[in-house]
Chains A and B, each alone.
Chain A
Amino acid sequence: MAVPQLDPAKLQLVQDLEIEMMSDMYNRLVGACHRKCIPVKYHEPELGKGESVCLDRCVAKYLDVHERIGKKLSNMSQGEAEDLTKMNLPEKK
């Protein structure tokens, strides 16, 4: 929506935030898929076939959900912003 300001300091801040958010998301992803796919009986160090397939699907699903929620959230906040401008318009005039 807004034209991004090319202020290098701010850009750096946004980039750092993005990296931090990504790595937080990744850590949660690993935690969630480990919890859901790896049984607590550690008889062997190797990943079993079933465990591997489960992990692959888990990652795909997690990222799908992440994307869906992101879209929904951005829709909601956009709607909210529109409501706000509607509310503010009469005041401006």
Chain B
Amino acid sequence: MAASAQMMSEADQIKTFKEFLVQYNKLSELCFNDCIHDFTSRNLRSTEDKCTINCMEKYLRTNQRVSQRFHEFQMIANENMIALAQKSGNPS
């Protein structure tokens, strides 16, 4: 972490932080909309609290899994591109 943070320029760090904040806002909105339906009480009920925390954790796991699959697909696409380039590069 420290090494990558050092290698990143200040502009990149700000961009990453901004992306994090945007994600944070999206996550709040999503879990609020999915978990909070009752406004007869000012306080968060324990079921609502549990739902929001579960919602957040599940979302993060979802993101993690999608990211894994996404990178797998990208790697395959890259390999295909390289193979195609080599094929057309030296027609033997």
Contacts and interface: CB of A to CB of B under 8 A. Distances in A.
Decide if the interface of chain B is mainly helix, strand, loop or mixed.
helix
A55 B66 CA distance: 7
Contacts, number: 59
B62 A45 contact: no
Given A33-B62, A52-B65, A55-B62, A44 B54 contact: yes
Interface of B: 19, 30-31, 34-35, 50-55, 57-59, 61-63, 65-67, 69-70, 73
Question: A-side binding surface: helix, strand, loop or mixed?
Answer: helix
Interface string A43-67: 1111100011001101110010000
B65 A56 contact: yes
| Interface bracket on A | 20 to 34
Given A59-B73, A60-B73, A29 B66 contact: yes
B66 A46 contact: no
B64 to A, nearest CB: 9
